[in-house]
Structure 1
């Protein structure tokens, strides 16, 4: 992985600190989206400004339609009691945080010292993380530093323009977003547009009729089955990859007996929905249909909703807090 020079990091930190001085989270909710189209990139960046709700302030960048769809998924994740470990583990994002000193790792602390930066107090320390599904949050690569630098330059222009011309403020409450376009000449245009349709985020599997009929004929057993997908956020270093892996676990759990029926650590090349369907059908074949299925993860819910309706397995959305302790034990063992 190509690494940015100290001077390239200095430019990025200068811009990030200029944004921090403007405190955009005092005016923006994290769902008030700004899209920035740069001449250097084919697709736009979607910017989300965090911190209005007294959480850690920051700015996240999401590239292209895939990144925008991740933002929509984050906005809609409140419909399910899905843990933040899954939500944050399954997105593409470049994020600048303004946090506390203890949140920084040794590399980030050393870089700040080398840059001669001075931060003090809570929610003041500037640091960056790159998020990618199946990988642990990592330091920015050279390309990612370049992307953040260009976007932050444009974002500062956008914020200053909104300060001077408040009539350009979008109607965020009615599903508008602000789109800023930087031309090759350096000129910038801004317009309010309706939120685009996201890329389909969840896969839905349709089984052959004979297979669904076979599953439907299996007896209903005294089993309250919980199915879950979750990231462990315990970095696994593999020399074949240039960033640490973030283990993704597929789990089936019997809530009545407090027993793990099945647990599978997905490989990087595994498709989680295909693994889910295969495991679910195998459990029904071996044990029978569960009396009720408990789910908190939207990926699982949308993959199984239609099938469960057709084979008469009731689904209930539940926080499944009893699973969190199991994941903690798994995390400690990796």
Structure 2
């Protein structure tokens, strides 16, 4: 059952947010620079990135565990070819932002009033947000607030130590700033390490069913070019199964030249995307035959399809845009669905 942050948790969050705002760490860190916090009693580290080097969006993103970091790195790797709307709904993190009053959630304005906190000026208002893959952004709950408090507190210390120790980090080469508690010494410390233990990548799938592979290879070659993509439909759904509103994801397979839908699959957060991708391709081949080529723009889909497409002699081509898919999705928005 959801528990709201206590007033003391809010008070601590604003206190830490003010310290970070005054430090202006975005002058020294880029958006993709990684700071890791290894917290006692936690099996996996927390990770932070600092926003604002570009001078537009200022804040701190916090990612929980290795899955959280991999999700962040994967999204960052996708920014050049995936639609912004898709990327925004894929993210999972806790955020502390510094912006203008008009974008601060109303309930947090009320919290500020209750605490007697006032902000003035451009990019001076502090507010907090929770993001979860496949869901709409939401207010943090009490557990998330406590995670963010711990992370912001150690982030402040890590930045101070980095300056005091004059650590030189090459984030582009894989350095990461690490804040950890040394049990044998009984104290915290900050150092730099390589990101190798946090390496990420997209999952791949090998079609091991030799009988199925043989059936697919025997299917007739057809003169079709397909577009294959996952998109979020611009619809917000409230369901008692989920603690916050969700955005449904659509897996879509369409013929490129005629715009015919050859397969589609809606699924909610948490369902098996890999299985859905493979089933859509296999069902298509079994019904229609082997297409000449498949256009994709999502490297996740590419890795899942690659082995099967190699077996079947289907060319996979990465594209910056998928015209038919985008037209289909835009049709949902025009209809208000």
TM-score, normalising length from structure 1?
0.90
Deviations 1:22-75 (A, max 9, x none): 111111112211101122523211111112123311111112221222233134
Aligned mates of 2:123, 2:322 — CA distance in 1: 29
CA RMSD of aligned residues (A): 2.3
Equivalent residue number for residue 310 of structure 1:
311
Q: Which stretch shifts more, 272-281 or 86-95?
A: 86-95
Deviations 1:99-139 (A, max 9, x none): 34443333334334434443445433322222222322211
Aligned mates of 1:16, 1:182 — CA distance in 2: 22
Flag structure 1 segments of 5+ consecutive residues without an equivalent: none
Tell me if the contact between 2:226 and 2:293 (Cα under 8 Å) persists in the aligned partners. Answer: yes
Equivalent residue number for residue 8 of structure 2:
7
Equivalent residue number for residue 172 of structure 1:
171
Aligned mates of 1:103, 1:95 — CA distance in 2: 14
Aligned mates of 2:284, 2:105 — CA distance in 1: 42
Kindly indicate whether residue 242 of structure 2 is the aligned counterpart of residue 241 of structure 1: yes
User: How far did residue 236 of structure 1 move?
Assistant: 1.3
Equivalent residue number for residue 250 of structure 1:
251
Note the 1:47-196 alignment, pairs <5 A. Answer: 47-78=48-79, 81-166=81-166, 168-183=167-182, 187-196=187-196
User: How far did residue 269 of structure 1 move?
Assistant: 4.8
Deviations 1:218-243 (A, max 9, x none): 22323221111122364311123221
Deviations 1:165-222 (A, max 9, x none): 32x2322232111111135787321121111344765332222122122212222323
Tell me if the contact between 1:65 and 1:199 (Cα under 8 Å) persists in the aligned partners. Answer: no
Match of 1:330 among 329, 332, 336: 332
Tell me if the contact between 2:297 and 2:322 (Cα under 8 Å) persists in the aligned partners. Answer: no
Tell me if the contact between 1:82 and 1:298 (Cα under 8 Å) persists in the aligned partners. Answer: no
Three-state SS of the structure 2 residue aligned to 1:136 is coil
Matched residue count: 332
Flag structure 2 segments of 5+ consecutive residues without an equivalent: none
TM-score, normalising length from structure 2?
0.89
